[in-house]
Amino acid sequence: MKTFNGHRSWNAWNVSLWLNNSEETYRNIILCMKNVGFEKTVNIFAKNLKGQKTPDGAYYNKLSIRLALEDWREQCQN
């Protein structure tokens, strides 16, 4: 599989970049994962960001959000 800066595609990389570079977003994601778990957090963010793009034009979709949040999963496990 081809990779883009360690991600499966430009879209996945760009979504990860934007989700990982906002302190407020980071806090909201971590809090959400601690309260409702990883899968529900992915679903919540996918639903709320549906149809939206990053400032660079990458679409927020469920897969790109899941991939972006995967690294944070361990931080939120009890």
Q: How many CA atoms lie within 13 A of 24 on its CB side?
A: 0
pTM score: 0.87
Domain boundaries of the chain, sorted by first residue: 10-76
pLDDT digits (tens, 9 = 90+) for 18-46: 999 989 998 999 999 999 999 999 999 99
Q: Residue 14 above 80 pLDDT? A: yes
Could you tell me if 33 and 73 are in contact, meaning their C-beta atoms sit under 8 angstroms apart? yes
- Residue 78, amino acid: N
Of the pLDDT bands very low, low, confident and very high (cuts 50, 70, 90), residue 2 is low
